């Protein structure tokens, strides 16, 4: 599950366990990990919800997958690749997005957004005004750009926590994703 021992059970942990089990149909490993600090988990959920509220789900998931790839987060890659497969693309297209998004049939705007999200996740200090201008040229306004940055920032937090604690992807991904897609979405951590 992770490098850390199971947190002690409390009323707060039981609440997050119950909520996530009802939502997911199983208890995710990340929920078990965040039982060490349920308040931080609830705060992250609130922040991530606010970030998602301002974006189309397809863009959010593409941005999140790009960040997961840059951060080498297999857990987040599998989770968000599954959403992309379930809601927007077939498995082969999601695998192509994960490995070479520029030739996966995305729109020019989506390719630009994924490129930008990957750059923000990999080295936010390397982002320049020209990068933002490039997104404007693809039809994004400054609020859209900021929402992409926020989505990457939220993913950096979550992926970093999971990776540093050694949280393993949920075994349900073995059952719900075919082997080729799992391999494409397994970025290393």
CA 88 to CA 154: how far, in whole Å?
A: 22
Q: What is the largest CA-CA distance in the chain?
A: 51
Measured distance CA(107)–CA(155) in Å, rounded: 23
Q: In angstroms, what CA-CA distances link 46 with 9, 93, 94?
A: 22, 31, 27
In the chain, where the domains are located: 11-51, 56-185
56-185 folds as: AhpD-like (1.20.1290)
Give the whole-angstrom CA distance, residue 58 versus residue 4. Answer: 33
Q: Show the tokens assigned to 53.
A: 């509220």
0.75 exceeded by pTM = yes
What distance in Å separates the CA atoms of residue 95 and residue 75, rounded to the nearest whole number? 15
Q: What is the pLDDT along the chain (189 residues), one digit of tens a residue?
A: 789 999 999 999 999 999 999 999 999 999 999 999 999 999 999 999 999 998 999 999 999 999 999 999 999 999 999 999 999 999 999 999 999 999 999 999 999 999 999 999 999 999 999 999 999 999 999 999 999 999 999 999 999 999 999 999 999 999 999 999 999 999 985
Which DSSP helix (H) or strand (E) runs through 108? helix 108-123
């Amino acid at each position: 599950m992770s490098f850390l021992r199971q947190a002690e059970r409390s009323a707060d942990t039981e609440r997050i366990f119950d909520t996530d089990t009802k939502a997911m149909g199983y208890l995710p490993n990340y929920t078990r990990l965040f039982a060490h600090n349920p308040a931080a988990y609830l705060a992250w959920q609130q922040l991530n919800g606010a970030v998602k509220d301002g974006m189309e789900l397809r863009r959010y998931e593409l941005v999140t997958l790009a960040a997961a790839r840059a951060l080498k987060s297999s857990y987040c890659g599998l989770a968000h690749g599954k959403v992309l497969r379930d809601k927007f693309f077939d498995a082969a297209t999601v695998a192509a997005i994960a490995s070479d998004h520029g030739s996966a049939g995305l729109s020019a705007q989506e390719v630009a957004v994924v490129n930008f999200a990957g750059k923000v996740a990999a080295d936010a200090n390397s982002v320049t005004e020209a990068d933002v201008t490039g997104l404007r040229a693809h039809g994004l306004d400054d609020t859209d750009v900021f929402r992409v940055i926020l989505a990457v920032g939220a993913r950096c937090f979550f992926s970093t926590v999971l990776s540093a604690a050694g949280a393993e992807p949920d075994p349900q991904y073995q059952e719900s994703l075919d082997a080729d897609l799992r391999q494409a979405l397994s970025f290393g951590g």
